[in-house]
Amino acid sequence: MSSFLSKMLGTNSISQDFSYDPNQINYSPPPASSLGLQAQLNSASMMASSASNMQGQASQMQNMNSGYYGQMQTNMQQQVGDANTSANAGMNRQLSMGGQGGGSLRSLLANVNTSKVGEQVQQGVMNMYGQGQNQASSMMGQAAQAMQGAGSLQAQAASTKGQFMSAMEQNKVNVGMANQAAMNEQQQYTRTSNYNQDAANKAARGEFAGNVMGLAGSIYTGGL
């Protein structure tokens, strides 16, 4: 049957396009820098650096032969030596005024003063070392706390970043599944609609053919 006749008789096949573009989600996860963790990491780095410096100072204080005590001892010797020189000068003046400025007595007293200077320096150094040990112990404790705090900040930052990255990966998976589901739905709809359209066209043609044959039979029977 020609296309013209099909149109005139209303039996022309329906041809509708059921395809469409499925909705697709474009997902771009934000960068990890958006979490603002750099400030936290910087604080942790500063704490660790400060703790390291404190540990270095404490180690100096714990070593009696370190430069820390060496410089303090030099300063103390200078101060005590200056005081001893001043004391000897005053003693010499008193001896001279009393008519007892003999060399032997003066030397004896000077030696006594010098011996006292040595004892004062030694005692001063031991006192400094004892104080240094106490300070070193305190500084080591503070440094340990600072290191622990820095480690906690770094661990928190790492955990937060890890959770963030995991969540972003899961979002990617979810978006991919949603996009695939939309495509599957579009394909299923298109296949089903095309199938139903084809079935309807076939049914329409079959019905028309049956009607024509029925009409022809009626005409034939009536003519007999």
Q: pLDDT tens digits for 30-53?
A: 888 888 888 899 999 999 999 999
The structure's pTM equals 0.54
Determine contact, residues 37/160, Cβ cutoff 8 Å. yes
Residue 9, domain member (yes or no): no
Residue 17, domain member (yes or no): no
User: Structural domain of residue 176, as residue ranges?
Assistant: 40-223
- pLDDT (0 to 100) of residue 108: 46
Residue 107, domain member (yes or no): yes
Q: What angle do helix axes 103-223 and 67-97 make, rounded to 10 degrees?
A: 160
- DSSP 8-class letter at 32: G
Residue 59, domain member (yes or no): yes
Could you tell me which residue, 209 or 112, shows the higher pLDDT? Answer: 209
**Per-residue pLDDT reduced to its tens digit, 131-182:** 888 998 999 999 999 999 999 999 999 999 999 999 999 999 999 999 999 9
Number of folded domains in the chain? 1
Q: How far is CA 91 from CA 22, 78, 100, 145, 184, in A?
A: 109, 20, 11, 55, 111
Mean pLDDT of all residues in 15-43: 87
Biggest distance spanned by C-alpha atoms of the chain? 183
**Per-residue pLDDT reduced to its tens digit, 83-108:** 666 655 655 555 555 554 444 444 54
For 44-48, 76-80, 185-189, 190-194, which range has the lowest pLDDT when averaged over its residues? 76-80
